[in-house]
Copies of this chain bind each other. A is one copy, B any other.
Amino acid sequence: MGIVLGPNQYGKAENRVVRVYRDQPRHVVRDLNVSTALRGDFGDAHTTGDQAHILPTDTQKNTAFAFAKKHGVDEIEDYALVLGRHFLEVPVVTAAQIEVDEYAWERIDVAGQGHDHAFVRKGQELRTTLVIVESGAGEPRATVTSGVKDLVLLKTTGSEFRGFYIDEYTTLQPTDDRIMATSLTARWRYAHLEVEWTKAYDSIRSLVLERFATVYSLALQQTLYEIGRAVLTAHTEVMEMTLVAPNKHHFAVDLSPYGLDNPGEVFIAADRPYGLIQATVLRDDEGQQGSDG
């Protein structure tokens, strides 16, 4: 029974690419964290140390920066696609994976007007995309999965948790009114590439917020499902949505030792442990596994 190389990939992670558009007085800034990874027949690099087929991670970095100039960064999805397709031209590479996180900035308000070239970071959430370009019979095939990361949400009522399974280790009391809070990470896979990326992103992000706010929650699971269902219903170009949600617990503090009642007014926000809920919502007859090339 021999020993062999199994799945492997390599690349350059977390290239902090900042692109400024300054051909107009009103500058635009795109602030990205770009990670690239290549897959293919890199057996020799591992087993004999022969690097003849290895495009250095340093070159991948150079390319990420060069393409920010050459092709621009209008939308992170398009930037990732052109980068992925480029790497697929390297001999022996069979798949390129490009991951981009974008930090948002908003113009500083000066006398009621957004300033031309001064910005303040907006939120802690990130807009993300994960693009995979693969070779195969015919044209390369591209899959675009975009998302939002670290969208921190909280509702102060409209959330219950009851009727759950009880065993000998259960001490939790059912509640019909609690704080529900999470730092949501969502990713959605597009059926094809004929998408107005930013318009879709804005619309999906709004839907996520709106569903979180207005769905009366019987559990975090149900809220996540309702978010996914709403997005897939409104966006036919989305094939599936995956949601990862830590349940950031807020425990009501017992103030009775000090003669105070606490009808849902004072909470301690806990760090660890936290619930962790993960769910994918998808179309039930998905004939199509990825986006078109």
Residues of chain A at the chain B interface (Cβ within 8 Å): 1-22, 27, 29, 31, 35, 37, 42, 45-59, 61-63, 65-66, 68-70, 90-91, 105, 108-111, 115, 117-125, 151-158, 161-172, 179, 206, 209-210, 212-214, 217-219, 221-222, 224-225, 228-229, 232-233, 240, 242, 246-247, 250, 253, 255, 257-258, 260, 262-285
Contacts and interface: CB of A to CB of B under 8 A. Distances in A.
A164 to B, nearest CB: 4
This chain: how many copies in the complex?
A: 4
B275 A57 contact: yes
B212 A108 contact: yes
B46 A12 contact: no
B27 A157 contact: yes
A20 B59 contact: no
A266 B69 contact: yes
Query: Which of the listed residues A66, A166, A209 has the most CB atoms from chain B within 10 Å of its own CB?
Result: A66
Contact of A118 (B7, B48, B213, B260): B213
Q: Which 5 A-B pairs have the closest CB atoms?
A: A49-B218, A118-B213, A6-B280, A121-B152, A46-B225
Given A16-B271, A120-B123, 10 more contacts: A9-B278, A12-B276, A46-B222, A49-B221, A51-B165, A54-B164, A54-B165, A57-B247, A108-B212, A120-B153
A59 B16 contact: no
A118 B10 contact: no
A235 to B, nearest CB: 11
